[in-house]
Amino acid sequence: MAGAAGRVSGRPRALLRVLAGLRRYALPALALIAWELLARSGRFSPILFPSLVNIAREFGGLVTHGDRLAEAWYSLYRALGGFALAAAAGVLIGTLMGRSTLAAGLFEPLFSGTYPVPKIALFPLFVFVFGIGSLSKVALVFLECLYPIVINTYYGTRAVNRVLVWSARNMGATPGQILRKVVVPATAPFIFAGFRVALPIAMIVVIITEMIGSADGLGYMVIYAFASFQTARVLAAVVAIALLGLALDGILVAVRNRLVFWEKLESYYA
Amino acid sequence: MMRRAPFVCGVFVASVLLGAAGARAAEEPPLIRLGYGVAAEEQLWLMMARPDLAPNQGKRYRLKPIVFQVIPERFQAYVAGELDGGTAPGLSVIFARAQGVDVKAVASICQEAAGKDWFSTTYMAKDDGPIKTVKDLKGGTIAVVGIKTATDLWARAALLRAGLVPDKDVKLVPMAFPAVGPAVRSDKVGMGTFVEPFYSAEKAKGGLRPLFTAVEAVGYDHELLDLFFGEKFLKAHPDAVRGFLADYVAATGYYLANREKARRDIHKAGFVRTPLEIYLKNADWRRDFHGRVDVASLKKLAAFMLEKLNWLEKPVNVDEMVDQSFLPR
């Protein structure tokens, strides 16, 4: 009897667990249902509110056509190219600023003063300097991503516990060893925080620049579909961009959790 | 009883005022919310700059012009119920109809036409550069003003005529008109699209050479910009549209007969930002005196978009798309 009662009470618990697991999808699901209801209500033109079925059909076409997948690849390599360059330079500059008052005095006014400037406004200038191809887009991504990475790294480096540095020094560690074994690991969570801010910026900048002046890429695809009022295709491309961004962030979090294993990040990917 | 008197008086006065307002609203002619652009729409700008040239305004229709920089936004505003009509290139009206937007082209604004009297959009390359013919563009880039715009269509038409495959042999990139001249001169693109006043300004500087015009690219004179209205508005307010188009045709006639004076008025009203002396000298597109749409040319463009460019998924019935019955007879 007790066993039967346990089985009965076990089922609702399992159900509750499933429901709790599904809770995180409740709001997106509700939004999708509301969208579909509005699209099917007949109150709005399909140009403004295409149905999810049409968007899904366009999305299917996007992921199964080689030439359309190539557009995603163009955007991806531009975004990752600029991001990688910004990551390398940003960590270097940020660490230098954090460890040297001279470097901080040199760079801080520059970064603080130009941080609020909308770098995207410089794109026409970048086109004249670097050409209409990928280089101008990669350069702008680099510039936009550099700021959050430098600033996060800088403040992370400054926040390293001095006791740890002193202890390492007392134990005979060289400045290089202190940097490698103490400063960089202690700053890593900040560096990755900068990366996580910069990565979506990289995607946004690439898409915008491709929409302004490009003959390929997902941004070009959006503007191409938009020009002939194919809203379902525009939204399919937007979904692809969102999924790409989500995947990149997921990969970044996974890498971070592997490298910064002592301070794992609670995230929705876990 | 005495206390109720002010209340009754108040209700009476309010009723009279509301009734008067309602009667005035009923007397007011229909409002036309018109989306317009920033290039080549002189007759329409003239109607706004010189209301005296549009005598039906305020009597048979009221006009609320709303400026738009980009064509697709004009149609989105229309679909969202924010516009009753507007201006758009013929090919954009074709795109809109292909997507089921219930609009009709009702009058022509300007056309791409051959001949020394008219301006036709021109594609130019560097005079001392390697591009002497369209075929030399292989592996290069052309600057057009926007993807799937008329400038894009003409460039693709010229490439196809030269036996080149657009996007594969030659890239087409969007670029704002003011940036095209410097981009060609600095070899960022092999060839660019030039309209007035940029065409005259760049020609005056020297160093650029025309390769072909829009008319040469497709091989025939054709519609560039048209006026469109929503089908529901046309059905609901035919007299307002007739009144508006009567004024429009009258303004076109005035503009063609008094081009310099009209341009001065347009410039003074702020519709054109080019320096006046340059604007007055600029060549102009052909404008039909009666505002008649060249339907045959739109049919050819629609067929070209469908068969050669794959820009359309299905044919568009151009005869159904154009309705010139609202123009003055």
Does residue B50 surpass a pLDDT of 60?
Answer: yes
User: Per-residue pLDDT tens for B206-240?
Assistant: 999 999 999 999 999 999 999 999 999 999 999 99
| Cβ distance of A132 and B141 shorter than 8 Å | yes
Does residue A3 surpass a pLDDT of 60?
Answer: no
Does residue B311 surpass a pLDDT of 50?
Answer: yes
Residue A187: exposed, middle, or buried by beta-carbon count in 10 A (0-12, 13-18, 19+)? Answer: buried
Does residue B5 surpass a pLDDT of 80?
Answer: no
- Kindly state the tokens that stand for A200: 């979506």
pLDDT-based confidence at residue B14 (cuts at 50, 70, 90): low
pLDDT-based confidence at residue B21 (cuts at 50, 70, 90): low
Q: Is B306 on the interface with A (CB under 8 A)?
A: no
Average pLDDT of chain B? 92
Q: What is the pLDDT of residue A11?
A: 73
| Cβ distance of A229 and B75 shorter than 8 Å | yes
- Kindly state the tokens that stand for B214: 């829009």
Does residue B20 surpass a pLDDT of 70?
Answer: no
Long-range contacts of A261-270, Cβ-Cβ distance < 8 Å, separation of 24 or more: A263/A189, A268/A24
Q: Quick one: average pLDDT of B52-80?
A: 94
Q: What is the pLDDT of residue A2?
A: 47
User: Per-residue pLDDT tens for A183-236?
Assistant: 999 999 999 999 999 999 999 999 999 999 898 999 999 999 998 889 999 999
Does residue B16 surpass a pLDDT of 60?
Answer: no
pLDDT-based confidence at residue B17 (cuts at 50, 70, 90): low
Report chain B residues whose CB lies below 8 A from the CB of A220: 147
Chain A closest-CA separation from residue B172 CA (Å): 6
pLDDT-based confidence at residue B2 (cuts at 50, 70, 90): very low
Residue type, B115: G
What share of chain B has pLDDT > 90, as a percent?
84
Q: What is the pLDDT of residue A263?
A: 82
Report chain B residues whose CB lies below 8 A from the CB of A213: 173-175
Report chain B residues whose CB lies below 8 A from the CB of A228: 95, 98-99, 148, 311-312
Does residue B27 surpass a pLDDT of 80?
Answer: no
Report chain A residues whose CB lies below 8 A from the CB of B312: 228
